[in-house]
Structure 1
């Protein structure tokens, strides 16, 4: 493993890509705190925050699955640079508007819509760009390191946000986010990658574009492992909605505590996700895809049913805190296993010419389940208790686990066998070439 990490850091393109991710994540974590305060200060009404949150999600659901064909036939590097610069301009307008006094909630909504729309292009471009800068045998370590460093950066940025806002003001914090986008664009532009083979004529007409788009959906539907990945992604995003949307009633009604329990939950999940992503390359040596997914589901079941089953321990404040910390650690570790597995394996099983399209479709599917689940919970919670909803979530996770054991993991096993055979053939060819040389 140390050899593989050493190999990664000797790759200048990977170093620049990692640095770009770090500055982006730091700026976003500071901006997230500053923006929420700005919206409330300008309007004094919480519903504007909800409107802007919804606006941020819409392009992911409706734009991302449509841009894949266009992204695949244009320079991924240029797309990433241009979208970073557009985001920098929008954030700069927001900061200047706050400083000069012309910023309003509708303007923030428009700027956020533009930012979210260009991010719908950047996400698929980034996915398709990744194999151009990282060798296939380093995917585990590269994605693990990216995820771990991003989590650490987010923790640091969130922790420093209040101090940064106090020191340079909300507008200064947003200008800082603008600077991180510019730095990210510069780092990506300095990368030296092989020239891409682009077929710009493929999108010369509406019919050609629609054919490319249709081919992407047909490819996803025809590859069983991608259907399983979609189910797992939907499961992960949907199963987290109950805990994310009902944290406060969970703390008060079920755990019989206060806001301090929310902090314990957040910290335990974040730290365990960080550790899970950091140690994922080691765990994958012992866990195949089937075991990884089943362990993820088992840990989520333990979390939800454990919350209700451990009720006698909540009679004391320390009992509730320790129990929540242990269960939240299991949840965070399970989430990390599922996310890391999908993020790594998608590069192993998806043809490079389809990466942008599949990434866009997958992002839309996984993001779309969240508002649907939230809507369902908003209705169910009117007729039952938080405790019952936690039990229901555990049962749904259990049923999904049964499905994966009986049907879903067959596709995973087949895909891993194909990947192993392909890797063996590639190694044999490489050995033959070396002998010939």
Structure 2
């Protein structure tokens, strides 16, 4: 298929004709389905096991540490490796660790220190998987289809996530937390098997040789050091100022979202007076909003400037987040009202993030994408541990609705900061 043909055709019909991309997506869908089941079961398990909001915040903070301290180094390593092999091995490893967690909990032997160790190990594997998945997309799709491809990928994986969240509460009620988490372990293994069958196009030798240095015409090429490749990522980010601006913006967005991410389970139990089904409903509607927004982007997103989409997405996300405080001051219909605002939060997320992911892929050479993505991710999540710890600590002193309202308003106001950037308005 020629680049010109692709440029004229941006629909889902054209994307599903690219078999390797479809195989890649199926593997991601299976993994995401299991992950979403686990997210409910794991959160419920931790809250039942500890009953501590501070510990929940601390665990989430620990989850970000490998990405912050090792992300760039891992990204440089991934650029040297086959992304397919990386994803297969990491999914296998994550399935193993999730399975161990389930067995320990089922036997009544799960301790708090186990949670910390397994969280760090799983997060370390995710450090490898994320840049490998990101660098896979431009290898499987032509450049002109990246926005549509990313939007479709977001929608498809969110549908799987929505399905997982929809059945999570029922699974916990019928089969228990142990079996629910074991199901997730099995789905990781299935995802690894499916990924092993994806046929990646052969990389051109010219791009592979860009990371080589020749001492002379008679000597074999010498690969650059890991440190040199990591330094290249810094230089690339400094050269593309917009990537740095966006990274700082989303670091702040990440910080503001920490109270909701850490305290969603206590919010459902204490404020909405609902059970695991209520947590599944709210999480599921966030995902449903992401699906709808992603589908709209895949068809109509190219008609708008990326900067406009990002601003609208951030404002929608922040204001909806702030409004989740409203049910606390109502005497009835608390869960349905919270559900509406969670749906609106979901609508804002792809608008804010998908255009930026596409821009990163458009301007970054494929042989550098792993480490540049890892560097950007490291910057974005750098404040997440602090946000998690602050959220857990503040929850014992400030009512959850007040926390959500304050941080939601701050998030929405962050959109004004990027509007002051001429680079953001003109380039994106």
Counterparts of 1:24 and 1:144, CA distance in 2:
18
Of 162, 171, 195 in structure 2, the residue corresponding to residue 188 of structure 1 is 195
Q: Is the 8 A contact 1:269 1:328 kept in 2?
A: yes
- The question of 1:361 aligning with 2:368 is answered no
Task: Give the corresponding residue for 1:158.
Answer: 165
SS in 2 for 1:281: helix
Q: Kindly indicate whether residue 141 of structure 2 is the aligned counterpart of residue 141 of structure 1.
A: no
Task: Give TM-score, length-normalised by structure 1.
Answer: 0.77
How many residues were matched structurally? 407
Correspondence 1:406-421 to 2 at 5 A: 406-407=420-421, 409-411=422-424, 413-414=426-427, 416=428
Give SS of 1:317's match.
coil
| 2:332 equivalent to 1:317 | yes
> What whole-Å deviation, never above 9, does each CA across 1:291-330 have from its counterpart, x for those lacking one?
112222332454367678x89x966635x77765555444
Give the 3 Å change call, closer, same or farther, for CA 387–75 of structure 1 in structure 2: closer
The equivalent of 2:414 in structure 1 is 400
Aligned to 1:16: 23
Supply the distance in 2 between the matched residues of 1:378 and 1:105 (Cα, whole angstroms): 16
Which one has the bigger helix percentage?
A: 1
Q: Return 227-236 or 298-307, whichever deviates more.
A: 298-307
Query: In 2 relative to 1, CA 34–401 (structure 1 residues): closer, same or farther, beyond 3 Å?
Result: closer
- Find out whether 1:64 has 2:71 as its counterpart: yes
Indicate conservation of the 8 Å contact 1:68/1:358, yes or no.
yes
Q: CA deviation at 1:279?
A: 0.7
Greater shift, 372-381 or 272-281, is seen at: 372-381
Give how far 1:339 is off: 1.6
SS in structure 1 at match of 2:198: coil
Give the distance between the partners of 2:350 and 2:262, measured in 1 at CA.
20
1:299 match: 316
CA contact (8 A) 2:321 2:342 kept: no
Asked whether 1:335 is paired with 2:349, we answer: yes
Task: Choose between structure 1 and 2 for higher RCO, CA contacts under 8 A separated by at least 6 residues.
Answer: 2
Higher-Rg structure is 1
Partner of 1:230: 247
> Does the CA-based 8 Å contact 1:84-1:184 persist in structure 2?
yes
After superposition, the Cα gap between the structure-2 partners of 1:163 and 1:205, relative to the gap in structure 1 and judged at 3 Å, is farther
Unaligned runs of 5+ in 2: 1-7, 214-220
In the alignment, which residue of structure 2 is the partner of 1:372?
386
* Corresponding residue of 1:431: none
SS at match of 2:369: helix
Say if 2:168 and 2:280, in contact at 8 Å, map to a contact too.
no
Instruction: Say if 1:266 and 1:218 are closer, same or farther in 2 by CA, change over 3 A.
Output: same
Offset from partner CA, 1:170-191 (integer Å, 9 cap, x none): 4443332232222222222212
1:270 pairs with 2:287:
yes
Distance 1:250 1:161 in 2: 18
Q: CA RMSD in A?
A: 4.0
Decide whether the 8 Å contact of 1:301 with 1:398 is kept in 2: yes
| Secondary structure of the structure 2 residue equivalent to 1:194 | coil
The runs of 5 or more residues in structure 1 that have no matched partner are: 417-437
In structure 2, relative to structure 1, the CA distance for the partners of 1:112 and 1:249 (3 Å cut) is closer
If the length of structure 2 is used for normalisation, what is the TM-score?
0.78
SS of match in other structure, 1:27: helix
Match of 1:349 among 346, 353, 363: 363
- Equivalent in the alignment of 2:218: none
SS at match of 2:161: helix
Query: Does the residue aligned with 1:193 lie in a helix, a strand or coil?
Result: coil
Deviation string for 1:389-433 (max 9, x for gaps)?
Answer: 6665466446533332221x524523x5xxxxxxxxxxxxxxxxx
Following superposition, the deviation at residue 265 of structure 1 comes to 5.5
SS of residue in 1 equivalent to 2:225: helix
